[in-house]
Amino acid sequence: MPAWLVSLFDKVAFSAASAILAFIAGRFWKGLLRPWISDFWYPGPYLANNYKGEFTLKEKQCSDLIELRQKASKVWGTMTFPDGGHGRYKFEAVILDNVLRGTYDGVRHGPSARGVFLLAIDPRRNDLEGWFVEPHQGEVISVAYKWMPTRD
């Protein structure tokens, strides 16, 4: 086999191996190392996995169940309303200076329902208190909202 052909195969094989190693290293960094490092160095509060939310809507006391996951300052999960089949919402949020701010979208029953929430974290009790805002039938409603950790 000519030397130039061997050299060409070597270069192609080396380039392919380099690309594969770079891809594997990138996936390892993104999937394991970066989240672990950011979680390890994260100085902010850690939230409980389950909360009970309480709010008053149209002079009626309502509650919902919140299940969340947290990776450093990023929080995501679901809010489920067991009473009256009001539906289920997914949310994404960020913690900044003991304030959880996020958005939610309807998943079931009201998939077009969207809104935002802003909750101050009480680090002593792990309670959160603030407001949620949602457009509803041509108007914007803002409601006081409180999350309390459950023992589940």
For 23-68, the pLDDT digits (tens) are: 887 777 666 776 667 667 777 888 999 999 999 888 889 888 999 9
Confidence category of residue 70, pLDDT binned at 50, 70, 90? very high
- CATH 3.40.50.300 is held by the domain 50-149: no
Nearest to 57 by CA among 147, 149, 132, 116: 132
Joined tokens for residue 118: 């802003």
pLDDT on residue 109: 60
pTM for the full model? 0.70
User: pLDDT for 95-150, tens place per residue?
Assistant: 999 999 999 998 766 567 889 999 999 888 889 999 999 887 888 989 999 999 99
| Strands annotated E in the chain | 50-57, 60-71, 74-81, 87-96, 99-108, 114-122, 127-136, 139-149
